[in-house]
Structure 1
Amino acid sequence: MVLGLFSIIFSFSRVSSGNCKSASLFGLAGLHFRKRHYASWMLLVSFLLDVAVRAMTSHINICSKLGAELNDFAVFTTFGLASALLLGVDGLLSGILAIIYVSAASFHLSFYSSGVPSIYKGLPCPYASCILASTSLLTKGNRFILCCMASLMILFMMDQSYYPYDKILESENWKKLVYIGGVIMLFFSPLSLSAFYCLMWSLSYIFFPDALWGKAACLSPQH
């Protein structure tokens, strides 16, 4: 949640810094570029932390109503609001799409429950956020591509399809290696390479959920 709040700060400061008329054009563009990278990088780190926190709480069997509410608030703040702000709020189209994205994430958290503890209904918000952040880094914040990708993520989050509960750190060793690879990439490799790695990871979860990340991804709730 804290990283998500920092991502929001960087996104807003990137927009508001456009009013600094005294800054040179080159210096201002470089400042926007760095802050956009910071905002996206923090979302990718949050994605990895979310996986670790879920594994930790499952391992030590922590379960409480307050914890569940805090988790939903953290997911909404980071993978909903902060992710939507990558689209920018300085244009009508991107602003409306950002509102729709936040609404979709909120609706997904509030009303989508598969009734089966081992699967999700609709694409989980962290994966949608990871794809948006990776796309932002790879395209250098191209507004058109980001808007197209955000539209797809909204459809995936609101879809009725089922996705497996990705117990990455509690499953096969190769999944743990994928996670460790993501950590290494984010902290010790160029951002473009780490963004591509996270993008492929998230896309594989969308297009090969059952084959790679779980069992019976399309299992119906009554089963």
Structure 2
Amino acid sequence: MSEKKVLDPCTRFFLTNDQIHLYMNEFSWKDVTNALSLANMILGLFSIFCSVCKKCYSASWMLLISFLLDMAVGTITRHLSLCSRSGVELNDFAVFTTFGLASALLLGVDGPLNAFLAVIYVLAATFRLCFYSTGVPFTYKGLPCRYASCVLASTCLLTKGNTFILSCMASLMILFMMDQSYYPRDEILGSENWKKLIYLGGVIMLLVSPFSLTAFYCLMWSLSYIFFPDALWGKAACFRLQHQRK
């Protein structure tokens, strides 16, 4: 006759509390990521309002803050394996609002050419978000929208809203977003220490540095990711992929 293992009430009580603790911990982190996504979307809406009011400095500044916020959301979500349908939809809507619509409005809609390019930029960002997916771990297909937005915002700050230069940069970013090249995932929490320092440096400069210096820093950061994705940013992803295959 098999002996059944019966848990006493105290043991069941502590197990239940542990499960509740784990559930509440996960729930709280989901709240944090959702709050960051909501803040990202609000900054995008304010950036749109500033662009309509011809305040390109304020609009660009909000996009740079959103750049750092979105990177934190993605890193926390992947690092803690958080996944919820509502969180994903909220983040996608925030990315479209901020890095699609708000970034395109930096180009202005005064003339037909600028308005046409802004529409193309929004469509490229939408296409990149909706239809580009990859089965390769730790990679994106096509340039992530936040890097394209960071390039436009930094260029706007450095050139004082020069529409010709912004149009050239926007055209280049459209090509990179529509291209099907692979880019490594930029996970801050699970990356090398120097990448964490770059992110921390961006946060500090955003808070205390002049507009021009911060814009130059973010521009160099984004361009290094765009033009040297594997040489500079993809080593950790390659090592992890090789480790999983062993």
* TM bracket (short chain): 0.7 to 0.9
1:63 is aligned to 2:103: no
Show the counterpart of 1:88: 108
1:13 is aligned to 2:33: no
CA distance in 2, matches of 1:127, 1:115: 21
Name the amino acid aligned to 1:102.
V
Matches within 5 A, 1:1-223: 1-14=41-54, 35-215=55-235
**Normalization by structure 1: what TM-score?**
0.86
Show the counterpart of 1:31: none
User: Partner of 1:168: helix, strand, or coil?
Assistant: coil
Give me the CA root mean square deviation. 1.5
CA distance in 1, matches of 2:136, 2:90: 21
Name the amino acid aligned to 1:147.
S
Flag the structure with larger Rg: 2
The answer to whether the 8 A contact 1:182-1:197 is kept is yes
User: Partner of 1:169: helix, strand, or coil?
Assistant: coil
User: Partner of 2:137: helix, strand, or coil?
Assistant: coil
- 1:139-179 Cα distance to aligned partner (Å, 9 max, x none): 00000000000000000000011000111232111001000
Show the counterpart of 1:21: none
The answer to whether the 8 A contact 1:7-1:40 is kept is yes
The answer to whether the 8 A contact 2:76-2:189 is kept is no
CA distance in 2, matches of 1:200, 1:159: 21
Q: Which ranges of structure 2 fall in alignment gaps of 5 or more residues?
A: 1-40
For residue 58 of structure 1, report the CA deviation from its aligned partner. Answer: 2.4
User: Partner of 2:53: helix, strand, or coil?
Assistant: helix
Which aligned runs of 4 or more in structure 1 are off by greater than 4 angstroms? none
Provide the identity percentage. 75
User: Partner of 1:163: helix, strand, or coil?
Assistant: strand
Using CA pairs below 8 Å that are at least 6 residues apart, which structure has the higher relative contact order? 1
User: Partner of 1:129: helix, strand, or coil?
Assistant: helix
